[in-house]
Structure 1
Amino acid sequence: MAFGRLERTQGPRPMSDINVTPLVDVMLVLVVIFIITAPLLASTIRLELPKTDAAKPVDARQFVTLVVDQTGQAFLNDKPVQSEELALSLSETARQNPDTEVQLRADAAVPYGRVVEVMGAAQKAGLNRIGFVAEAKPMTGP
């Protein structure tokens, strides 16, 4: 230190590093939101499926989903279809692969006659493998 002379210290320097902590926080929140919403996108048609003890998921090689909601509206692969469109689409599917399975999901409130109409359309198109989708009954304690 010299006489009469003050030393100067460096002032605060600008920060040139990127702070990635907020970016990581936002990305983790987005991942959690995606994990929660992904199962909800599997089927958008609300149904009250009948419950049975024998309900087991079966892996089919090739299948189409046929849904009848509580109002009786038919959906083929989650797209609403009228009776004529349903017959044409099922006929085209049967022409491409006659071993295609029809996985029929019908709301418990749907009249049996409507379910039989939809089944008849599938069989008339040439699709004879029809699987009925139901939910397993909840296990009750002893």
Structure 2
Amino acid sequence: MQVKDDTKPYDSINVTPMLDLAYVLLVVFIIMTTASVQGLTMNLPKPSNKPSTEKHETKIVQVTPEGRFMINGIGVTLAELETQLQAAKARDPKLAVMVKGDPATQYARVIEVVDLVNRLQIEGLGLITARIGT
């Protein structure tokens, strides 16, 4: 009597466990990547139900596409900007600074202004945005 052996070697690999491992590694990578992203610390204003009747000085700092600074329309260097903001804060402790960056400006130049305002401990910081196409 002869025994017929129909067993064949496996010609395919079950990829389900490998895909499970790949998905777990992908999730771990996403979680670790987003956890290491650092941002800026900003004190955002709290909304109130009553309108404020107080009037405080406001300075508008614009960053041009070439990376130059303008305060209320007058071109200044970063050092001049710092002295003008210090003087304005001495006059009005609740000074507000609005930063307007051109879309073609390097983002680092806008961050220099934000860092300067934070270093001078000016609490009223705002970012001016414009709609695309206006």
Higher RCO (Cα < 8 Å, 6 or more apart): 1
Q: Alignment partner for residue 87 of structure 1, among 64, 82, 87?
A: 82
Look up the match of 2:100: 105
Percentage of pairs with the same residue: 21
TM-score (norm 2): 0.54
Look up the match of 2:122: 127
Q: Alignment partner for residue 69 of structure 1, among 64, 73, 76?
A: 64
| Structure 2: runs of 5+ lacking an equivalent | 1-51
Hey, what's the Cα distance between the residues in 1 that align with 2:71 and 2:92?
16
TM-score (norm 1): 0.51
Hey, what's the Cα distance between the residues in 2 that align with 1:125 and 1:77?
18
| Structure 1: runs of 5+ lacking an equivalent | 1-58
The count of aligned residue pairs is 80
- Once the 2 structures are TM-superposed, how far is the Cα of residue 125 of structure 1 from its aligned partner? 2.1
- Do the aligned residues in 1 keep the contact of 2:97 with 2:124 (CA within 8 Å)? yes
- Do the aligned residues in 1 keep the contact of 2:56 with 2:92 (CA within 8 Å)? no
Alignment of 1:1-142 (within 5 A): 61-137=56-132
Paired AA for residue 90 in structure 1 = L
Alignment RMSD: 2.0
Change over 3 Å in CA distance of 1:137–1:82 after alignment to 2 = closer
Q: Secondary structure at the match of 1:136?
A: coil
Q: Which stretches of structure 1, 4 residues or more, deviate above 3 A after TM superposition?
A: none
